Structure 1
Amino acid sequence: MIAVQCKMARVALGWGVRDLAKSAKVSPDTIARFERGEHLRSATIESIKMAFEMAGIEFIDENGGGAGVRFAKPKADASD
């Protein structure tokens, strides 16, 4: 996950910096630093990414196009 994906994911969910910080169990300043492009520990970035994934966001790698985010396809119910 890169900084612009973090911003896009927050907008997609309608989350502010404080909402993401609470979900990722980091400080709002940490989120702001990341979105400004400052270096964070990989474990911190992983915590932020996991918070988004738990909320239904999927990250798209830069594979010929730009990096992005989208809502994950709902998982099939095991009872179906």
Structure 2
Amino acid sequence: MLDARQIRAARALLEWSQPDLVEATGLSLTTIRRMEDNDIGPARSSAANVQSVQTALETAGIIFIPKNGGGSGVRLRNPD
């Protein structure tokens, strides 16, 4: 499951604004803001909305790193 910090970090790596993510996902700005809020986060969003954000960011080149003892994270895929 993604967390709010991963979404914000992914946007930063892509140099995307919240409106850019809105455009890529078709979700509302309010939904994106809630998903990026540490107190709300994606855990309180629908599975479809979380999947939409994850898919949009991965399509743009983001790799999500799961929690594996070292903490979750993101990185930008190396362009081939």
- Scaled by the length of structure 1, the TM-score of the pair is 0.87
Q: Show the counterpart of 1:17.
A: 18
2:56 to 46, 51, 54: 51
Structure 2 runs not aligned, ≥5 long: none
Give the letter for the 1:65 counterpart.
G
CA positional deviation for 1:74: 4.2
Give identity over the alignment, percent.
Answer: 40
After superposition, the C-alpha distances for 1:7-48 in whole angstroms (9 at most, x for unaligned) are 000000001100001101101111001111421001100000
Give the letter for the 2:45 counterpart.
L
| Cα-Cα RMSD | 1.2
Structure 1 runs not aligned, ≥5 long: 76-80
Q: Which is further off, 31-40 or 50-59?
A: 31-40
Between 1 and 2, higher relative CO (CA 8 Å, sep ≥ 6) is seen in: 2
After superposition, the C-alpha distances for 1:37-65 in whole angstroms (9 at most, x for unaligned) are 42100110000000001100000001011
- Which protein shows a greater Rg? 1
Report the 3-state secondary structure (helix = DSSP H, G, I; strand = E; otherwise coil) of the residue aligned with 2:63.
strand
Q: Show the counterpart of 1:62.
A: 67
- Scaled by the length of structure 2, the TM-score of the pair is 0.87
